[in-house]
Structure 1
Amino acid sequence: MNWRHHFDRLEGAYASSTIKSYIRDFEAFAGWCRRKRLRALPASAQTVARFIDAQSQELKISSIKRKMCAIRKVHRLAGFNDIDEHETIALALRRAKRARPGRPRQALGVTFERRNALMGKCSDDLVGLRDKVMVAVGFDTLCRRAELVGLRVEDFQMSDAGTLTVLVRRAKNDQDGLGRIAHLSAETTRLVQHWLEMTGLERGPLLRPIYKGKIGARYLHPAAVGRVLKRLSSMAYDPEIAKKVSGHSLRVGSAQTLAKRGVGLLAIMSVGGWRSSNTVARYVENVEVNPWQ
């Protein structure tokens, strides 16, 4: 069964990471079908329901829904009817949701205080300066990790206020690629300027790998953000706290800091480029704010 060629039609319309995710998830479904001697394409509603029931023993509902997106996409590309319309599948999804109740696990937010602690643990060499810029820019811009490592030197501009702005070119909820403008603080502006002076960078990636004291030419992998934050957190705090930190922690912590400072939900959404208030509300719900102070 050759289903992979269907994804050729998605080239240019979807990010390569999205296409790879579709392929990976449908491979999991197709492999399960082979082991059960069931047809994967087109799959019957009963087959998909059995797959959901099996996956619900191990995976969260969010992961199952992601796999369902891949199954749905392949069927549509192959010209088959939308399998989501079957009540059998809808009931299986409801069973999966009830079988593993609970809220999504949220990364520990790197709030302003934690940001300062992490930056204080950065070394005095070129790697430490890069890591300090990563933390400061990530916190100010509320960038996702892929957006953060994707920032380019030529996208930074000096504003009338004397601080830098940066064009965050494309986000996962910005399919048209219009981007958004993020503002840096005076402190972060000085850090970025110092980094550019030290490295001589004029174009290309702002954040780069460094080998034996020499800066590379390519972009950092998004996973590098999480590794840097975990490493700095393990030095600033105990290992248990470091385990809760991820590449998303700067975005979460900055939103929490803004909420604690009294910034409204709509303003936080605008700064971080969110389309839905639900995610932001979940980030800031645990912020301790005393309305009587």
Structure 2
Amino acid sequence: MRVGFDTLCRRAELVALRAEDLAGNERGNYSILVRRAKNDQTGQGRIARLSSETSALVRRWLGKTGFKQGPLLRPVYQGQLLQRYLEPVTISRVLKKLAERAHAAVSTEQNVSGHSLRVGTAQQLTLNGHDVLQIMRAGGWRSMAVVARYIENVGLDLWS
């Protein structure tokens, strides 16, 4: 789920990520091409950058699996890693299970969805002091109004 958080991907975008679209930078972190998005129907794509921690996890994953191309995230069935893409609904199910394991309040757990990574990242970036234009660029948003809806409930304490 770290890849989803770092990339601000919707669940369909997340499951469509490909191993061959990863690129390393001089600091040893990865970036990845998000080929198509809901608001990018022509498929121009955007580059999403991964944090050092997520890059290390992806590097370990690639080392263990040997993937060089095809789906970055894949389903496991009866202990076997399948050579196909995950279904988008799987992201929602995994997030709900993680919320349950974290002993989240029932109301929180029920509201967790595949979009929670995108909303949560936008809110965390706001709390970290990033401005709306930076968040828009990172998430591929074209409308400031949409980002404003995502971050409107962030509890900023401007006087601390």
| Percent of residue pairs identical | 56
Q: Aligned runs of 1:1-293 on 2, under 5 Å? A: 135-236=1-102, 237-293=104-160
Distance (Å, rounded) in 2 between the aligned partners of 1:162 and 1:200: 18
Letter of the structure 2 residue corresponding to residue 217 of structure 1: Q
Highest RCO, 1 vs 2 (Cα 8 Å, sep ≥ 6): 2
Letter of the structure 1 residue corresponding to residue 63 of structure 2: E
Structure with greater strand share of residues: 2
Structure with greater helix share of residues: 1
C-alpha deviation, 1:256, in angstroms = 0.0
Letter of the structure 1 residue corresponding to residue 130 of structure 2: V
Identify unmatched segments of 5+ residues in structure 2.
none
Q: Deviations over 1:30-70 (max 9, x none)?
A: xxxxxxxxxxxxxxxxxxxxxxxxxxxxxxxxxxxxxxxxx
CA contact (8 A) 1:140 1:185 kept: yes
Q: Structure 2 length as normaliser, TM-score?
A: 0.96
Identify unmatched segments of 5+ residues in structure 1.
1-134
C-alpha deviation, 1:171, in angstroms = 0.6
C-alpha deviation, 1:176, in angstroms = 1.8
C-alpha deviation, 1:240, in angstroms = 2.8
When the two chains are superposed, the root-mean-square deviation of aligned CA atoms in Å is 0.9
Distance (Å, rounded) in 1 between the aligned partners of 2:41 and 2:98: 33
CA contact (8 A) 1:234 1:241 kept: no
CA contact (8 A) 1:165 1:181 kept: yes
Q: Deviations over 1:132-185 (max 9, x none)?
A: xxx100000000110000000000010122200000001111122110001001
Letter of the structure 1 residue corresponding to residue 146 of structure 2: T
CA contact (8 A) 1:209 1:220 kept: yes
Tell me the secondary structure at the aligned position of residue 182 of structure 1.
Answer: strand
Q: Structure 1 length as normaliser, TM-score?
A: 0.53
Distance (Å, rounded) in 2 between the aligned partners of 1:176 and 1:200: 31
Tell me the secondary structure at the aligned position of residue 137 of structure 1.
Answer: helix
Tell me the secondary structure at the aligned position of residue 59 of structure 2.
Answer: helix
Aligned length: 159
C-alpha deviation, 1:246, in angstroms = 0.1
Distance (Å, rounded) in 2 between the aligned partners of 1:212 and 1:200: 19
